[in-house]
Structure 1
Amino acid sequence: MFSKLTSLFTENLNLSEMNDNPEAQREGYNRILNLTDEELIGTLCLEPATTEPQVSRIYQSYQSDRFVAALLDPRTSSEYKFNEICQIVEPQNVEYKRFAVKLKVKSHPTKALSEEDINNIKAYLDKGESGEYINILMKQDLNISDFLNYVNEVGSLKSDEEIDDDICKINSERIPRILIFVSKPEFFSCFLKLLNFYLNSLEESSSYCSRYVLIGKVIQRQDSDYMSIKGTIPHRNCVYIFRPLNLDYYKCVNDELLKSFSNSFETVDLKNPKYGDHRFYSIYDMECANDKINIKTNNNLNEKDPLPEYSIIE
């Protein structure tokens, strides 16, 4: 008995040391990215990513965080912001399902990997509270199998940053059918493979899914009398603000709601603003690839007609 306890204590101590070892974490990160499909399925599984209390959430899809800083600046009123900085896309208060999972090492991982590899992967995934996760927000009439069927049919998705300008301009004035946020874009394919593999068990469990309401999609205005937009691309700057369905307050975008996210403003270095990445993927039409516009054929419009003109926001 004493021998078993000593062994368990030593094992936990070694894992704790590895969790504080940047080299082990780096090796674990690289090992995940180089797993074969068989090794991936044999090593990793998915677990619910939602462990914290349900709160309002803001998802920032932006080209420059100068826009985010201006929107969430607690020193200015919402009236000023909506006159000079941003506009809300209609409709508002739309119900979504939030599907959230994160990567986890299986209790009995494949023996194809060495013990060192497994421990390095654990060290990497355990280095932060959130781990590596993906959030998939879907209109309420959709489910995770609809999303996977769509991705499998179109073959791949382009991130919001990769979408052509013409398409992006049109999409900026619409709300998506599906919005995907992944903690690191390089793990997106890993999540897709695991979601496909575990689909049946995921659909049968309610612990991965929660109900949210899109309070509003807020986009940057094309111009302003008082604020310079030089260096920003307005149609590539937006935020999505969600609240849990059962939350009785924050039912519109106002001063109180925006100030609740003021911590995002405080993290922006205005002298050296950061730019967006490939962590967001949006699907607006389930009938075509997410980098296309689905123009339905009718008496007045056919597939050869040009894209509809992008409206100037005033």
Structure 2
Amino acid sequence: MFSKLRYLLINRKLDTSKMNDNLVAETKGYHAILNLTYEDLIGTLCLESANIKESELAANIYQCHQSDRFIAALLDPRTSFEYKKNAIFQIVEPKNVEYIRFAVKLKLKSHPTKALNKEDIKNIKAFLDWYGAGNYLYIFMRPDLSIANVLTYLNQVGSLKPDKYIDDNVCKLNSERLPRILIMARSPELLKCFHKLLNFYSNSLDSSYCSRHKLLGEVIQKQSSNYVSIEGTIPHRNCVYFFLPQKGNREACINDELLKSYSYAFESVNFENPSSYDGLTYSIYDMECVNDQVNIRSSDDLYEKEPLPKYSDIE
């Protein structure tokens, strides 16, 4: 989703001369959470549902892009949908695929651990109260999976690699298929905190955390175009997902009207200093290996032990 607060979620240093008092407290609260021991994390924070609200009616756009110049080109209200299809993007097949969204957010306990001082608790509360601060976790999974399956996988692999750091050959292969699981978290460190809390509260994660969604389409930049060249980017690393909450018999598709509904994002792009937004997604395509690898099956359905060949060598 589009966030105006990227600084905190990427930067690891505090520059208080450029922040107001509230932002200083929020940033300190973020780092205080990351530095909690396991015992203090369990004693300070719990989880609550961040499920779909009645006001959440439109399709949501989740982005993983190397440059927001791609976002600007995709959502530019001045160009037609036909032009964009021919010059800018392509949709990964299939479209209109069902997913379950598991949505959860961090919550400060009513009586947090006494190991923390009042200042730390105040700063943590400031971070959690900060709109858009990133204390949400979204997990999109195919309908045959459950949050228990996701946790089992995470416990087996230990940690995930953000899509931003996936090997380029693997990334290009993945860009041509849909993930089994798509996780949105604001940083690898915060994802680790969620992972610990999800394991601790695993027996109480009921259906109130889940809602039905439809992936209208995964949109990626065209590998080549005679009309548009987005400087400083690799096409298959520019991607957005359009998810529609399934409330009743609602229908939608990726069309001119949908793209123009996000024209405000085009207006917010700084063309002089475009930014990356590709460190927040974690895609899982095969639950029998870590997410930065690809398993190639042989004809007898066994996994090959040979390393993944270069993308250009695969016919």
TM-score (normalizing by structure 2)? 0.86
- Whole-Å Cα distance in 1 between the matches of residues 134 and 307 of structure 2? 46
Q: Which runs of 5+ in 2 are unaligned?
A: 1-19
2:199 aligned with 1:196: yes
- The answer to whether the Cα contact below 8 Å between 2:103 and 2:210 also exists between their aligned partners in 1 is yes
- The answer to whether the Cα contact below 8 Å between 1:223 and 1:229 also exists between their aligned partners in 2 is no
Change in Cα spacing, 1:88 to 1:108, as seen in structure 2 (3 Å) is same
Alignment correspondent of 1:24 = 25
- Whole-Å Cα distance in 2 between the matches of residues 212 and 130 of structure 1? 24
| 3-state DSSP of counterpart to 2:225 | coil
**Following TM superposition, where does structure 1 have runs of at least 4 consecutive aligned residues deviating by more than 6 angstroms?**
none
Alignment correspondent of 1:232 = 233
Q: Deviations over 1:35-78 (max 9, x none)?
A: 00000000001112236423310001111111111111111111
Deviates more, 1:280-289 or 1:50-59: 50-59
Q: Write the mapping of 1:18-167 to structure 2, written as runs, cut at 5 A.
A: 21-50=22-51, 52=53, 53-55=55-57, 56-128=59-131, 132-167=135-170
Question: Letter of the aligned partner of 2:243 in structure 1?
Answer: F
TM-score (normalizing by structure 1)? 0.86
Question: Letter of the aligned partner of 1:234 in structure 2?
Answer: P
Which of the pair has more CA radius of gyration?
1
Q: Deviations over 1:193-239 (max 9, x none)?
A: 1111111101xx22211110000001100111111233111010111
Alignment correspondent of 2:172 = 169
Question: Letter of the aligned partner of 2:136 in structure 1?
Answer: Y
Change in Cα spacing, 1:197 to 1:221, as seen in structure 2 (3 Å) is same
- The answer to whether the Cα contact below 8 Å between 2:103 and 2:138 also exists between their aligned partners in 1 is yes
- Whole-Å Cα distance in 2 between the matches of residues 212 and 46 of structure 1? 22
| Pairs aligned (count) | 292
Shift of 1:274: 0.7
- The answer to whether the Cα contact below 8 Å between 1:49 and 1:130 also exists between their aligned partners in 2 is no
Alignment correspondent of 2:9 = none
Shift of 1:252: 1.8
Q: Write the mapping of 1:6-21 to structure 2, written as runs, cut at 5 A.
A: 21=22
Question: Letter of the aligned partner of 1:122 in structure 2?
Answer: K
Percent identity over the alignment is: 60
- The answer to whether the Cα contact below 8 Å between 2:87 and 2:228 also exists between their aligned partners in 1 is yes
Alignment correspondent of 2:293 = 292
| 3-state DSSP of counterpart to 1:54 | coil
